[in-house]
Chains A and B, each alone.
Chain A
Amino acid sequence: MSSVTVKPIKPWAATPRDRALTTASVLLAVLATFAIVAVTPMKGKLAYLFVFFVTWLAIDSFFVLRKSGVKGVRNGFAEKLTLLGAMIVMLAVGSILWSVISRGVAGLNFAYVTETMRNASMFDPIGKGGIAHAIFGTLLLIAIAIVISVPMGILTALYLTEIKGKASGLIEFLIQAMSGVPSVVAGLFIYAAIILNTPLRPSAFLGGLALTILMVPTVTRTAQEVLNLVPRDLREAGLAMGATQWKTVALVVVPAARSGLITAVILGVARIAGETAPLLFTVGTFDAFNINPFVGQNSALPVIVWSGLNGGSAESIQRAWSAILLLLIVVLIIFVAARLFGKKSMKK
Chain B
Amino acid sequence: MSDQTQSTTPSSLSAVAAARADKKVAGTSPLGTGLEARGVHAWFDKHHALSDVSLDFSAGTVTALIGPSGCGKSTFIRTLNRMHEFIPHTSMAGQVLLDGKDIYEPGIDVTKIRLQIGMVFQKPNPFPSMTIGENVLSGLKLAQIKTSNPDELMEECLTRAGLWTEVKDRLGAHAGGLSGGQQQRLCIARALAVKPKVLLMDEPCSALDPGSTLRIEETISQLSKSMTVVIVTHNMQQAARVSDYTAFFLSDGGPGQMIEVGPTNEIFSRPRDQRTENYVTGRFG
Answer whether residue B27 sits at the interface, using C-beta atoms and an 8 A cutoff: no
Q: Does A340 contact B (CB under 8 A)?
A: no
* B104 adjacent to A11 (CB under 8 Å): yes
Smallest Cβ distance from B73 to chain A, in angstroms?
18
At the interface, yes or no: B92 with Cβ under 8 Å from chain A? yes
Assess the A12–B109 pair: CB atoms within 8 A.
no
Asked if A7 meets B143 with Cβ closer than 8 Å, knowing A12-B82, A67-B109, A71-B111, the reply is: no
Pair count A-B, CB < 8 A: 47
A9 adjacent to B106 (CB under 8 Å): no
Size band of the interface chain A makes with B: 10 to 19
Q: How far is the CA of A304 from the CA of B143 in the complex (A)?
A: 60
Residue of B nearest to A2 (CB): B52
Give the docked Cα–Cα distance between A10 and B85 (Å). 8
**B91 in contact with A10 (CB, 8 Å):** yes
A72:B85 contact, CB within 8 angstroms = no
CB neighbours of B185 from chain A (8 A): none
B189 to chain A, nearest CB (A): 22
Whether, in the assembled complex, A313 has its beta carbon less than 8 Å from a beta carbon of chain B, the answer is: no
B contact face: mostly helix, strand, loop, or mixed: mixed
B93, B109, B111, B143: the one contacting A6 at CB < 8 Å is B93
Given contacts A1-B257, A71-B111, contact A8 B143 (CB under 8 A): no
Interface residues of B in 90-117 (CB under 8 A from A): 90-94, 104-107, 109-112
Chain B residues with CB under 8 A of A1: 51-52, 257
Does residue B164 face the partner (Cβ distance < 8 Å to A)? no
Partner of B43, one of A8, A68, A69, A72: A8
Tell which of A7, A12, A17, A70 touches B93, judged by Cβ atoms closer than 8 Å: A7
A249 to chain B, nearest CB (A): 41
Which chain B positions have C-beta within 8 A of A12?
A: 82, 85, 104, 110
Q: Once the chains bind, are B93 and A68 in contact (CB under 8 Å)?
A: no
Q: Chain A residues near B51: list those with CB within 8 A.
A: 1
Cβ of A15 under 8 Å from chain B: yes
Q: B25 CB to closest chain A CB, in angstroms? A: 36
Contact, CB under 8 Å: A8 / B93: yes
Interface flags, A70-101, vs B, CB<8A=1, else 0: 11100000000000000000000000000000
Chain A residues with CB under 8 A of B128: none
Interface centre among B39, B105, B106, B143, by most chain A C-beta atoms within 10 angstroms, is B106
A6: B residues at CB distance < 8 A? 39, 41, 52, 93-94
Which positions in A face B, CB cutoff 8 Å?
Answer: 1-2, 6-12, 15, 17, 67-72
List 11 contacting pairs A-B, 8 Å CB cutoff, sorted by A.
Answer: A6-B94, A8-B41, A11-B92, A11-B105, A11-B106, A12-B82, A12-B85, A68-B109, A71-B143, A71-B144, A72-B111
